[in-house]
């Protein structure tokens, strides 16, 4: 159709010394000579090496003009030929077969990829009886905490059945102090959609057509990590804000594995071997991973910050510099004075204080009798 593969063989002294294939898109349908001509122009406009002879599969319309152009670039005569017999003709035929093979293999690969992405979205759409297209935007949310410590929320986005990581968002919970996942989820959803509504109003006031950040674009489907309780939280937030978006829950079994979807107060069973089920599982796992990753980073920063606060000479500026320069508390613990002095904000006295501080922590306790 509108895509093509061109195979190039590089031949020196009658021997094949290399080969490469190139993809072309938006090509003229059913006009292989025109595709080949466009390729020759593009390829040799971008390479410094010009061969003495180009063996082509088809006669091309601007052959004389291209010969003249290439000859001027090379500084000597260049020939464009379409071999009809002999070893050169066989080489061209082999290149054509290779191009055809690459294109057919890629079609199969694209077909499989489409099945696990856009096809999976269509399966979910059919299961929920929603008019979702293969390009539907789906958002999933999750909460992470340990006994209420550093509650965080995550928002992951999938479009065309694939993660759109540029639109992922993290939320540090502000209004909930204990381990209350429902309250945390209410805050996350309220902040997410209020932010989107505010951005939309700003666009309207400024009469701008483009999107203003990822929050402006609302999802076609919301996927909650859980069943009835999480779904009802989401529905109540949307109702309060006057937003109509379908919400379903990703229900897990006793072994914490996805088992189905909760939608319209009914748990819908889903074929565990289907692409739709596999996509739901990937989304649920991704939301969970993203929330845990954010939670760990906050815990790590808090731990490093609390330890560094005890060292003389380490104020807010040097603390930030240390955290920026070293990947972990353990790296700071192992650093020498010379390592620490690589930080522009550091002076020798404070570097010595840091080394001495961590050295004192390694000393065994003195036992008196």
pLDDT, one tens digit per residue, over 351-364 is 998 898 888 876 55
Going through the chain in order, the beta strands assigned E by DSSP cover 3-12, 15-25, 53-55, 79-81, 137-146, 149-159, 162-163, 169-172, 221-224, 247-252, 258-263, 266-269
pLDDT tens per residue, range 80-113: 999 999 889 999 999 999 988 888 887 777 777 7
Q: What are phi and psi of 149, to 5 degrees?
A: -85, 130
Q: Which helix (H) or strand (E) holds 281?
A: helix 275-308
pLDDT of residue 304: 52
Amino acid 192: pLDDT: 93
Map tokens 């466009």 to a residue: 38
Average of pLDDT values for 317-339? 84
According to the model, what pLDDT value does residue 366 have? 47
Q: Which one of 13-27, 223-237, 315-329 scores highest in mean pLDDT?
A: 223-237
Comparing 324 with 123, which gets the higher pLDDT?
A: 123
Structure tokens, 22: 């190139």
Angle between the 275-308 and 86-116 helix axes, to the nearest 10 degrees?
80
Buried b / exposed e along 25-55 (16+ C-beta atoms within 10 A): eebeeeeebebbbbbbbeebeeeeebeeebb
Task: Check residue 336 and give its pLDDT.
Answer: 92
pLDDT, mean over the chain: 84
Task: Work out the average pLDDT over 237-253.
Answer: 92
- Mind listing the pLDDT tens digit for each residue in 31-73? 889 999 999 998 888 777 889 999 999 999 999 999 999 999 9
Q: Three-state DSSP class for 263?
A: strand
Question: Could you tell me the sign of the dihedral formed by the alpha carbons of 30, 36, 41, 46, in that order?
Answer: positive
Confidence bin at 367 (pLDDT 50/70/90): very low
Mean pLDDT value across residues 199-218: 72
295 contacts: CB under 8 Å, gap ≥ 6: 144, 145, 146, 150, 152
For 345, residues 6+ apart whose C-beta sits below 8 A from its C-beta are 317, 318, 321
- Residue 235 vs residue 171, higher pLDDT: 235
Q: How confident is the model at residue 181 (pLDDT cuts 50, 70, 90)?
A: confident
pLDDT at position 216 over 90 = no
Angle between helices 228-241 and 181-206 (to 10 degrees): 30
Domains of the chain: 3-116 (no CATH), 129-296 (3.30.420.340), 309-362 (1.10.150.20)
Position 314 confidence tier, pLDDT thresholds 50, 70, 90: confident
For helices 316-325 and 275-308, what crossing angle results, to 10°? 140
**Which pLDDT score, from 0 to 100, does residue 68 have?**
94
pLDDT value of residue 160: 87
- As a whole number of angstroms, the distance between CA 169 and CA 259 comes to 26
Average pLDDT over residues 183-198: 92
Which H or E run contains 323?
Answer: helix 316-325
Position 182 pLDDT exceeds 60: yes
Of the candidates 89, 56, 49, 84, the residue with the CA atom closest to the CA atom of residue 70: 49
DSSP of 210-247, one letter per residue?
S--STTSS--SEEEESSSHHHHHHHHHHHHHHT----E
- Write down the pLDDT at residue 249: 92
Find out whether 7 and 102 touch, Cβ atoms under 8 Å: yes
Of residues 312 and 308, more confidence is placed in 312
Could you count the other beta carbons within 10 Å of the beta carbon of residue 23? 12
189: pLDDT strictly greater than 80: yes
For residue range 15-33, list pLDDT tens digits in order.
Answer: 888 888 888 877 777 788 9
pLDDT value of residue 302: 54
Q: What is the DSSP string of 24-82?
A: EESPPTT-HHHHHHHHHHHHHHS-S---SEEE-SS--TTHHHHHHHHHHHHTS--EEE-
Q: Find, among 43, 90, 116, the residue nearest to 273 by Cα.
A: 116
Mean pLDDT of 277-294: 86
């Amino acid at each position: 159709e509108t895509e093509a593969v061109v195979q190039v063989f590089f031949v020196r002294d009658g021997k094949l010394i290399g080969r490469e294939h190139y993809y072309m898109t938006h090509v003229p349908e059913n006009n292989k000579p025109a595709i080949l001509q466009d390729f020759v122009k593009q390829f040799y406009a971008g390479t410094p090496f010009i061969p003495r002879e180009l063996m082509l599969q088809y006669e091309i319309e601007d052959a004389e003009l291209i010969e003249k152009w290439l000859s001027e670039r090379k500084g000597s005569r260049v020939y464009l030929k379409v071999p009809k017999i002999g070893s050169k003709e066989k080489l061209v035929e082999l290149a054509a077969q290779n191009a055809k093979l690459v294109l057919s293999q890629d079609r199969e690969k694209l077909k499989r990829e489409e099945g696990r992405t856009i096809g999976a979205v269509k399966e979910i759409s059919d299961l929920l009886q929603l008019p979702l297209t293969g390009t539907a935007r789906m958002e999933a949310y999750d909460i992470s905490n340990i006994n209420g410590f550093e509650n965080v929320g995550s928002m992951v986005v999938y479009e065309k059945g694939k993660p759109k990581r540029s639109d992922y968002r993290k939320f540090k919970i502000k209004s909930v102090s204990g381990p209350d996942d429902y309250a945390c989820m209410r805050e996350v959803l309220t902040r997410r959609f209020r932010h989107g509504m505010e951005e939309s109003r700003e666009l309207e006031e400024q009469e701008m057509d483009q999107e203003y950040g990822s929050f402006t674009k609302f999802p076609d489907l919301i996927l909650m990590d859980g069943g009835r309780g999480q779904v009802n939280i989401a529905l109540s937030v949307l109702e309060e804000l006057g937003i109509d978006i379908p919400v379903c829950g990703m229900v897990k079994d006793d072994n914490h594995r996805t088992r189905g979807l909760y939608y319209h107060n009914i748990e819908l069973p889903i074929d565990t071997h289907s692409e739709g089920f596999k996509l739901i599982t990937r989304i649920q796992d991704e939301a969970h991973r993203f929330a845990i990753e954010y939670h760990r980073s906050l815990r790590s920063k808090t731990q490093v910050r609390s330890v560094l606060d005890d060292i003389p000479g380490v104020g807010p500026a040097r603390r930030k510099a240390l955290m920026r320069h070293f990947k972990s508390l353990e790296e700071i613990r192992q650093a020498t004075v010379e390592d620490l002095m690589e930080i522009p904000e550091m002076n020798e006295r404070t570097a010595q204080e840091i080394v001495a501080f961590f050295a004192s922590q390694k000393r065994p306790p003195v036992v008196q009798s």
